[in-house]
Copies of this chain bind each other. A is one copy, B any other.
Amino acid sequence: MRKIRRAALAVVAFVGLVTLLVDARQADSPASDGPQFTSDHRMLRPQHYREWIYLSSGLGMSYSPPASGDEKPPFDNVFVNPSAYRSFVATGTWPDRTVFILEIRTAQSKGSINQAGRFQGALEDVEVHVKDSRLPGKWAFFAFPASAQSAPAIPEQASCYSCHQQHGAVDTTFVQFYPTLLEIAKSKGTLKQSY
Protein backbone atom coordinates (compact mmCIF):
# COMPACT_ATOMS: atom_id res chain seq x y z
CA MET A 1 0.00 0.00 0.00
CA ARG A 2 2.75 2.42 0.95
CA LYS A 3 4.47 1.81 -2.41
CA ILE A 4 1.25 2.48 -4.30
CA ARG A 5 0.69 5.71 -2.39
CA ARG A 6 4.26 6.77 -3.09
CA ALA A 7 3.86 5.95 -6.78
CA ALA A 8 0.57 7.88 -6.92
CA LEU A 9 2.18 10.86 -5.17
CA ALA A 10 5.06 10.74 -7.66
CA VAL A 11 2.66 10.71 -10.65
CA VAL A 12 0.66 13.66 -9.30
CA ALA A 13 3.90 15.49 -8.53
CA PHE A 14 5.16 14.91 -12.08
CA VAL A 15 1.91 16.13 -13.66
CA GLY A 16 1.98 19.10 -11.30
CA LEU A 17 5.51 20.05 -12.31
CA VAL A 18 4.71 19.79 -16.02
CA THR A 19 1.60 21.95 -15.49
CA LEU A 20 3.62 24.54 -13.59
CA LEU A 21 6.19 24.68 -16.39
CA VAL A 22 3.46 25.15 -19.00
CA ASP A 23 1.89 27.88 -16.84
CA ALA A 24 5.24 29.61 -16.50
CA ARG A 25 5.56 29.70 -20.29
CA GLN A 26 2.03 31.11 -20.66
CA ALA A 27 2.65 33.74 -17.99
CA ASP A 28 5.54 34.87 -20.18
CA SER A 29 3.14 35.57 -23.06
CA PRO A 30 3.43 39.40 -23.03
CA ALA A 31 6.77 38.85 -24.79
CA SER A 32 5.31 36.24 -27.14
CA ASP A 33 3.05 38.77 -28.93
CA GLY A 34 5.91 41.26 -29.36
CA PRO A 35 7.89 41.96 -32.56
CA GLN A 36 10.34 39.38 -33.87
CA PHE A 37 13.37 40.17 -36.00
CA THR A 38 15.85 38.17 -38.05
CA SER A 39 19.57 38.54 -37.36
CA ASP A 40 19.78 41.03 -40.26
CA HIS A 41 17.09 43.30 -38.72
CA ARG A 42 14.16 42.27 -40.90
CA MET A 43 10.85 41.99 -39.07
CA LEU A 44 8.99 38.68 -39.24
CA ARG A 45 5.37 39.00 -40.44
CA PRO A 46 3.04 38.88 -37.39
CA GLN A 47 0.97 35.73 -37.82
CA HIS A 48 -1.99 36.00 -35.47
CA TYR A 49 -2.84 39.70 -35.47
CA ARG A 50 -6.49 39.01 -36.36
CA GLU A 51 -6.79 37.60 -32.82
CA TRP A 52 -5.24 40.74 -31.29
CA ILE A 53 -7.15 43.76 -29.98
CA TYR A 54 -9.10 45.70 -32.62
CA LEU A 55 -8.81 49.50 -32.39
CA SER A 56 -10.82 50.95 -35.29
CA SER A 57 -11.48 51.01 -39.03
CA GLY A 58 -11.67 53.66 -41.71
CA LEU A 59 -12.81 53.80 -45.31
CA GLY A 60 -10.62 55.66 -47.79
CA MET A 61 -8.94 57.73 -45.07
CA SER A 62 -6.37 60.14 -46.43
CA TYR A 63 -4.20 62.85 -44.90
CA SER A 64 -3.96 64.54 -48.31
CA PRO A 65 -6.80 66.31 -50.12
CA PRO A 66 -9.11 63.73 -51.75
CA ALA A 67 -7.86 62.41 -55.08
CA SER A 68 -10.53 62.75 -57.74
CA GLY A 69 -11.79 59.58 -59.35
CA ASP A 70 -10.85 57.16 -56.56
CA GLU A 71 -14.19 55.39 -56.61
CA LYS A 72 -13.05 52.28 -54.80
CA PRO A 73 -11.24 53.48 -51.69
CA PRO A 74 -10.20 50.58 -49.43
CA PHE A 75 -11.02 49.82 -45.80
CA ASP A 76 -8.32 49.90 -43.15
CA ASN A 77 -8.46 47.97 -39.86
CA VAL A 78 -6.08 48.63 -36.96
CA PHE A 79 -5.05 46.01 -34.38
CA VAL A 80 -2.54 46.13 -31.50
CA ASN A 81 -0.87 43.28 -29.61
CA PRO A 82 -2.75 42.35 -26.41
CA SER A 83 0.15 42.92 -24.01
CA ALA A 84 0.59 46.50 -25.30
CA TYR A 85 -3.18 47.10 -25.13
CA ARG A 86 -3.32 46.01 -21.48
CA SER A 87 -0.47 48.35 -20.70
CA PHE A 88 -2.22 51.25 -22.50
CA VAL A 89 -5.45 50.65 -20.57
CA ALA A 90 -3.46 50.86 -17.33
CA THR A 91 -1.20 53.82 -18.19
CA GLY A 92 -2.55 55.67 -21.26
CA THR A 93 0.67 55.15 -23.20
CA TRP A 94 2.59 52.45 -25.07
CA PRO A 95 5.12 50.04 -23.58
CA ASP A 96 8.27 48.70 -25.23
CA ARG A 97 7.47 46.00 -27.81
CA THR A 98 4.18 47.54 -28.99
CA VAL A 99 3.05 46.31 -32.43
CA PHE A 100 0.36 48.13 -34.46
CA ILE A 101 -1.09 46.46 -37.54
CA LEU A 102 -2.76 48.46 -40.33
CA GLU A 103 -4.62 45.97 -42.49
CA ILE A 104 -5.87 47.17 -45.89
CA ARG A 105 -8.86 45.36 -47.46
CA THR A 106 -10.89 45.94 -50.59
CA ALA A 107 -14.32 47.54 -50.17
CA GLN A 108 -17.19 45.74 -51.90
CA SER A 109 -20.65 47.05 -52.45
CA LYS A 110 -22.81 44.40 -54.09
CA GLY A 111 -22.58 40.89 -52.73
CA SER A 112 -24.92 38.38 -51.12
CA ILE A 113 -27.95 40.41 -50.01
CA ASN A 114 -26.08 43.68 -49.52
CA GLN A 115 -27.47 46.49 -51.64
CA ALA A 116 -25.96 49.67 -50.28
CA GLY A 117 -22.84 50.81 -48.49
CA ARG A 118 -19.60 48.85 -48.33
CA PHE A 119 -18.30 45.68 -46.73
CA GLN A 120 -14.81 44.22 -46.55
CA GLY A 121 -13.25 41.85 -49.06
CA ALA A 122 -9.78 40.53 -49.85
CA LEU A 123 -6.63 41.44 -47.98
CA GLU A 124 -4.49 43.91 -49.93
CA ASP A 125 -1.67 44.92 -47.64
CA VAL A 126 -0.35 44.82 -44.09
CA GLU A 127 1.65 47.73 -42.63
CA VAL A 128 3.21 47.64 -39.19
CA HIS A 129 4.32 50.29 -36.68
CA VAL A 130 6.58 48.99 -33.92
CA LYS A 131 7.93 50.44 -30.68
CA ASP A 132 11.05 48.55 -29.66
CA SER A 133 14.05 49.85 -27.71
CA ARG A 134 16.28 47.60 -29.84
CA LEU A 135 15.46 49.74 -32.92
CA PRO A 136 17.75 52.70 -33.67
CA GLY A 137 14.83 55.18 -33.60
CA LYS A 138 12.80 53.29 -30.93
CA TRP A 139 9.83 53.29 -33.35
CA ALA A 140 9.85 51.98 -36.95
CA PHE A 141 7.49 51.15 -39.81
CA PHE A 142 7.45 47.97 -41.92
CA ALA A 143 5.34 47.06 -44.98
CA PHE A 144 4.37 43.46 -45.74
CA PRO A 145 2.98 43.31 -49.27
CA ALA A 146 1.12 40.18 -50.37
CA SER A 147 2.59 37.15 -48.68
CA ALA A 148 6.01 38.59 -47.70
CA GLN A 149 7.12 36.73 -44.60
CA SER A 150 9.68 39.32 -43.53
CA ALA A 151 10.40 42.97 -44.31
CA PRO A 152 13.13 45.55 -43.65
CA ALA A 153 12.32 48.75 -41.77
CA ILE A 154 11.08 51.56 -44.01
CA PRO A 155 13.86 54.21 -44.15
CA GLU A 156 13.47 56.96 -41.56
CA GLN A 157 13.27 59.62 -44.27
CA ALA A 158 9.81 58.33 -45.26
CA SER A 159 6.89 60.64 -44.54
CA CYS A 160 5.18 58.18 -42.19
CA TYR A 161 7.87 58.89 -39.55
CA SER A 162 7.61 62.69 -39.65
CA CYS A 163 3.81 62.64 -39.93
CA HIS A 164 3.34 60.32 -36.93
CA GLN A 165 5.94 62.30 -34.97
CA GLN A 166 4.16 65.55 -35.73
CA HIS A 167 0.50 64.55 -35.56
CA GLY A 168 0.21 61.42 -33.39
CA ALA A 169 -1.87 62.27 -30.31
CA VAL A 170 0.00 59.83 -28.03
CA ASP A 171 3.66 58.79 -28.43
CA THR A 172 3.70 59.04 -32.29
CA THR A 173 0.46 57.01 -32.63
CA PHE A 174 -2.90 58.18 -34.01
CA VAL A 175 -4.90 57.55 -30.85
CA GLN A 176 -7.20 60.38 -32.03
CA PHE A 177 -8.66 57.87 -34.53
CA TYR A 178 -9.22 55.05 -31.96
CA PRO A 179 -12.37 56.13 -30.08
CA THR A 180 -12.07 53.76 -27.10
CA LEU A 181 -8.36 54.56 -26.55
CA LEU A 182 -8.92 58.30 -26.95
CA GLU A 183 -11.17 58.23 -23.87
CA ILE A 184 -8.47 56.39 -21.90
CA ALA A 185 -5.73 58.83 -22.97
CA LYS A 186 -7.96 61.77 -21.98
CA SER A 187 -8.62 60.29 -18.53
CA LYS A 188 -4.93 59.45 -18.00
CA GLY A 189 -3.78 62.88 -19.25
CA THR A 190 -1.40 61.37 -21.81
CA LEU A 191 -2.54 63.26 -24.95
CA LYS A 192 0.25 65.31 -26.50
CA GLN A 193 -0.13 68.96 -25.42
CA SER A 194 -0.20 70.24 -28.98
CA TYR A 195 -3.02 67.87 -29.87
Contacts and interface: CB of A to CB of B under 8 A. Distances in A.
Contacts of A116: 60-62, 64-67, 73
A157 B19 CA distance: 50
Contacts of A66: 115-117
Contacts of A12: 13, 16-17
A90 interface: no
Binding site secondary structure of chain A: mixed
Interface size class of A (residues with CB under 8 A): 35 or more
Interface in A90-146: 105, 107, 111-123
* Complex copy number for this chain: 2
A63 B116 CA distance: 7
Contacts of A122: 179
Given A13-B12, A16-B19, A50 B61 contact: no
Contact of A54 (B61, B79, B114): B79
A1 to B, nearest CB: 14
Nearest to A114: B61
Nearest to A169: B112
A20 B16 contact: yes
Given A16-B13, A54-B54, A122-B179, A61 B117 contact: yes
In the A-B complex, the 4 residue pairs with the closest CB atoms: A16-B16, A60-B117, A54-B54, A66-B116
